[in-house]
Structure 1
Amino acid sequence: MEYQRGRYSWLLRPVLMVLDVTIINVLAFYFFSFNEENLSFFSSGFLNSKHLLYIIYSVLFWLFSTSFISFYNVYRYTSVLNIISLLVKQFSIYTLAVFAFIGLFRSVNVETFATFRYLTYSFFAIGAIKLISYFLLKTFRKILHGNVRHVVIIGNSDGAKELKFIFNNKKELGYDLLAIFGNDNLKENKGTIKDSYKFLEENNGIDEIYCAIDELTENQVNDFVKYANTHHCNIKFIPNSKKLFTKRLKTDFYNYLPVLSIQKVALNHDFNKLLKRTFDVIFSLFIIIFILSWITLILFFLIKSESKGPLFFRHKRHGINYKEFVCYKFRSLRTIQEVQGTYVKQDDHRVTKIGRFLRRTSIDELPQFINVLIGDMSVVGPRPHMLSYTEDYSKKVDKYNFIFRHHVKPGVTGLAQIKGYRGEIKSDEDIINRIKYDIFYIENWSILLDIKIIFQTIFNIFKGQEKAY
């Protein structure tokens, strides 16, 4: 997720939007004859109904189409060629919209030549404003040292060195390189990767962290991701070559250097987050009130009568952006200690008699709806792993995919689970396929897919699954 930093630069986009819709409507009045009354914009003091209709139509369509192609998403590393490409895309779409309006309202007296003149003038006027604002910002950064991002580089890879050169020699981009940390004994290093944690905690004004990801362990990646999430700064990754590693992460180019950042997936868009969260709250409340409320009392006596220990098993898991949270289950083992490498196996002697039933029917997972209600989990999503397994699993799968998997909330159930990849990891293939299904779910999420997974989970409870032990 990209955090917007800066005091006033965020105002530029809405200002440009207002200027653009003003231009297309003022020029429309000048070039188009909206009625036989031949009203003058400056002398009549009012607009006729067709002009007013066009204003509403053009503003709505302009805002919708620019949002669709990310027309106003121009960053400090965006090239002029990309800006021109955005202009061509936008006006290709807008040209179709204008001719659609004229075709729909045939009483509007507009000549074809006048329409092309209108579109041409609009294109050059809006293009000029966009390019002027782009170069003014570059000049502002280079000469007045304003609109600056404070950045830190972690690692000494070739990509990290190239990025250092870009930051130090292209001042118009507006990056202030505060420090470089790496385990190599280089003069430019301010310290080792371990030293960087202290530096980050002492400097709260950092805007972006660039990590040479192949030089970091999974735990170090976790720490930097958690720091960035807590301090609302952006974290980006420098690959070790110039190949496009994955579509899971957003790729930006600083000159010709690829820089990867965690993609904001559809599931994390504001409306979808609200939709999914609303569904989670309603569904979890239903389970808690109508099922968990009475089954907890029954299981309290059954679990306590067979073995000593608490009713609930509390264990730490990694959630969204590697945030740790306490996950709840009904206790199904005689022990309550979580030990690395101790997945429950078939006919495991630690499992109690009632615990075997709970695990086979997945009833032991019901308390996780409390996690859903308080916001640590979702009803559907990638299953959370034990903290001790995170480092091991990351070595068996593509590291970029593993990071991407932790960019959404974990779930009580998930696509991988209904496909049979649950419970004990017997081989590398088990965890690789589990991650593949998790990635597929994240990239193809819809509320209907969630409902389908929930129904399949209920069906599997009655049918039984091979690894449900």
Structure 2
Amino acid sequence: MEYKRGRYSWLLRPFLIIFDVIIINVLAFYSFNFNEANLYFFSSALLNNKHLLYIIYSIVLWLVSTSFIKFYEVYRYTSAVNIISLLIKQFLVFAIIVFAFIGVFRSINIQAFDTLKYLLYSFSLISAIKLLSFYALKTYRSYLKGNVRRVVIIGKGEGAQELNQLFSKRKELGYNIIATFADSKTKTLTGSITDSFEFLKDNKEVDEIYCAIDELTEKQVNDFVKYAEINHCNIKFIPKTNKLLTKRLKTDYYNYLPVLSMPEIALNNDFNKFMKRIFDVVFSLLIIVFVMSWLTPLLFILIKLESKGSLFYKHKRNGINYKEFDCYKFRSLKTNKIVKGTYIKKNDTRVTKIGKFLRKTSLDEFPQFYNVLKGDMSVVGPRPHMLSYTEDYSKKIDKYNFMFRHNVKPGVTGLAQIKGYRGEIKNDEDIINRIKYDNFYIENWSLVLDLKIIFQTMINVFKGQKQAY
């Protein structure tokens, strides 16, 4: 997610969209010989009013086509060559759109040369304003020191040094390096990586953090991600320049240097988040009202009869963006003391008799529907790990792939779980396959996939799974 705090340059994009739409319609009015009777916008039916129809047609397809080729996604590190490439692509796409309109309405007497002139004039103005605004912002950053991003660089490697030099030399990019941290004795550094956390705590106006990810431990990565999420600043990652880049992180090029950031995945766009949240709330309320209402008092009696302790057991888990939350379960052990580094093993003596049944059928997970209602979890998603395991597992998995699964809310059930990769981790293959299925789910999410996973989970509740003990 790109955060923009205290900036007005974001207004440029809607301004350019409005300007472009006005240009293509005003020039169409003067360039195309529409029937004179049809120039009165509301004098006849819509289909007979070619001018009004063209306005609607051109606006809708302009917005759709520009969105498709990302015509307005121009950033401070975008090169002029890329902008020219976008202009050429949009010119060709819009030319097809215009000629298609004329082809459908053969009653419009417009010569191909007039249409070509209209397109050239329109895109000359659009290109001029787009490039003018691009270079005006560069000048504003270089000489007036405005529209500046305050950045912190973490790391001492080749990529971090190259980025530091790029930001320092090219003032038109508008990056102000306020501090650099690395575990080194170099005098030019502000301090060590440990010192950076104190610095960030005292400087809440940092806009972007650039981390040389291979120089950080998993815990440090987690802490930086959490800070960025809480303080609404952008966090980006600098890979080793000789390392193959993963497709699961968005790659931008600052000059020729690749910089990675968390992608805006389909599951996290506003509409899909809204749909998934509505589904989560409705489904969890149905479970709480029609299942938990009678299951809770029944299990309270059964659990209390066998062992002392509370009905529910809560433990810390990592959620979206590594955010910690209390995850609830029905207690299935004689003790709820957390032993670091140990999953429940087969024939574990800590598991009660009723606990064996609960774990075998996954009924012990049902209190997590309260977590769903609170917004900490989703009905379907990657299963959350205990905090003590997050660090251990990340050492066995490529950091980029491991971080990717923390880009969405964890789930009560998930694709990896129904495929049998749940519970005790016996070997590296278990955790590797778990992450593989989690990432597949994130990249291929749909409500249909959610329903399929829920259906398979319900079957497993009655059938049981050999990994559930």
Q: What is the TM-score when the length of structure 1 is the normalising length?
A: 0.97
Q: Specify whether residues 116 and 40 from structure 1 end up closer, same or farther in structure 2 by C-alpha distance, changes over 3 A only.
A: farther
2:44: which partner in 1? none
Distance 1:91 1:448 in 2: 38
Shift of 1:468: 1.1
Identity, % of aligned positions:
70
1:402: which partner in 2? 402
1:23: which partner in 2? 23
Give yes or no for the alignment of 1:370 onto 2:353. no
Q: Which runs of 4+ in 1 moved over 3 A?
A: 36-41
2:330: which partner in 1? 330
Whether the 8 Å contact between 2:150 and 2:206 is mirrored in structure 1 is yes
Matches within 5 A, 1:337-376: 337-376=337-376
Distance 2:320 2:34 in 1: 54
1:467: which partner in 2? 467
1:385: which partner in 2? 385
1:55: which partner in 2? 55
Shift of 1:122: 1.6
| Secondary structure at the counterpart of residue 97 of structure 1 | helix
Give yes or no for the alignment of 1:312 onto 2:299. no
Letter in structure 2 aligned against 1:307 = S
Give yes or no for the alignment of 1:269 onto 2:269. yes
1:73: which partner in 2? 73
Distance 1:110 1:458 in 2: 63
Distance 1:59 1:84 in 2: 22
Shift of 1:49: 2.4
Letter in structure 1 aligned against 2:461 = I
| Secondary structure at the counterpart of residue 189 of structure 1 | coil
Shift of 1:80: 0.9
Distance 1:379 1:322 in 2: 18
Distance 2:244 2:113 in 1: 45
Q: Size of the alignment, in residue pairs?
A: 463
Distance 1:451 1:359 in 2: 22
Q: Specify whether residues 243 and 23 from structure 1 end up closer, same or farther in structure 2 by C-alpha distance, changes over 3 A only.
A: farther
Distance 1:201 1:19 in 2: 42
Whether the 8 Å contact between 2:330 and 2:364 is mirrored in structure 1 is yes
Give unmatched runs, 5+ long, in structure 2: 42-47
Whether the 8 Å contact between 2:361 and 2:463 is mirrored in structure 1 is no
2:93: which partner in 1? 93
Deviations 1:165-223 (A, max 9, x none): 01110000000000100101111111100000111011111000000000100000000
| Secondary structure at the counterpart of residue 309 of structure 1 | coil
Distance 2:338 2:355 in 1: 16
Distance 2:119 2:244 in 1: 37
Shift of 1:242: 4.3
Letter in structure 1 aligned against 2:29 = F
Shift of 1:36: 4.5
Deviations 1:347-402 (A, max 9, x none): 11111000000000000000000000010000000000000000000000110011
Letter in structure 1 aligned against 2:190 = K
Distance 2:58 2:279 in 1: 35
Deviations 1:412-458 (A, max 9, x none): 00010111100110000000010011111101111111111111111
Distance 2:13 2:276 in 1: 29
2:104: which partner in 1? 104
Letter in structure 1 aligned against 2:8 = Y
Deviations 1:43-93 (A, max 9, x none): xxxxx9211111111111111221222211110000111111211222222
Letter in structure 1 aligned against 2:98 = V
Whether the 8 Å contact between 1:226 and 1:322 is mirrored in structure 2 is yes
Deviations 1:137-157 (A, max 9, x none): 000000000000000001101
Give unmatched runs, 5+ long, in structure 1: 42-47
Whether the 8 Å contact between 1:242 and 1:257 is mirrored in structure 2 is no
Letter in structure 1 aligned against 2:297 = L
Letter in structure 1 aligned against 2:408 = V
Shift of 1:4: 2.0
Provide the aligned C-alpha RMSD in A: 1.3
Whether the 8 Å contact between 2:382 and 2:416 is mirrored in structure 1 is yes
Shift of 1:40: 9.8
Letter in structure 1 aligned against 2:301 = F
1:133: which partner in 2? 133
Shift of 1:341: 1.7
Q: Specify whether residues 263 and 39 from structure 1 end up closer, same or farther in structure 2 by C-alpha distance, changes over 3 A only.
A: closer
Distance 1:120 1:379 in 2: 53
Distance 1:40 1:383 in 2: 61
| Secondary structure at the counterpart of residue 407 of structure 2 | coil
Whether the 8 Å contact between 1:242 and 1:258 is mirrored in structure 2 is no
